Structure formats: structure tokens, C-alpha cells
Structure 1
């Protein structure tokens, strides 16, 4: 398993909290807070695009 450095949880109003993480190989991770052993991984750019969509309100139903 990768050595993931997790950021503090992000909790939107009325939805689940999630955490973002990175590793030394340049991968990015996203997981529901409290379930970091079950995560999605992709490039930084792909997850940055997903997060931008979530924050703009276009994809909040995915979480």
C-alpha cells in the first residue's frame, strides 16, 4: 500500500465528509473520512477536476 499523506476532512453542508491525500509518486487519493482504507486514486489533475465540479455544485450527488 502507498504511504498516503491525508489532508484534514472536507465536510460540505448536509453531505459526507471526504479526505484528499497524496503520495511520493505523484498520485492523488480521495476517500470518505473514516474509511481511508477504501479510496479512489488517479492523477492530481483528474481529482482536482472532480473536486472543482463538486465545489461548484455540479457533482455533489456523487458523494
Structure 2
């Protein structure tokens, strides 16, 4: 795993799409495909929180 990042348990949607969300002590948030955490995207916790809220609100349904 990537040093300094605390990863949550994988979240798996329908099919085999599993993602992991992580955070670090500096306030950064990370998202990665489960098993490929070394290739993560990084942003602030606020940005990740907004992304999750928007997904839950259906704002990304057109991408599915």
C-alpha cells in the first residue's frame, strides 16, 4: 500500500467496479481502483466530499 494513506474498505458497485477511498494526516483525500492504490487520484477532503454528495444526488448518472 501507499505509505501515509489510510484506506477504507473497498466499495464495490454492481459488477466488478471496486474503489477505495483514503485520507492522510495532511487533509488530502484519495480515490483508487481496489488493488491499484499506487495509481490514485488526489484532492482535498472537501472536494472528495462534494464528489460523493453529487454522486449520491444522481449528478453522475449520465456517466453510467
Shorter-chain TM-score bucket reads 0.7 to 0.9
Q: Figure out how many residues of one structure are paired with residues of the other and give that number.
A: 62
Structure 1 gap ranges (5+): none
Aligned to 2:30: 29
Higher Rg: 2
Length-normalised TM-score, structure 2: 0.79
Conservation of the 8 A alpha-carbon contact between 1:29 and 1:39: yes
Conservation of the 8 A alpha-carbon contact between 1:26 and 1:44: yes
Structure 2 gap ranges (5+): none
CA RMSD in angstroms, aligned pairs only? 2.0
Q: Structure 1 residue runs of 4+, over 3 Å off?
A: none
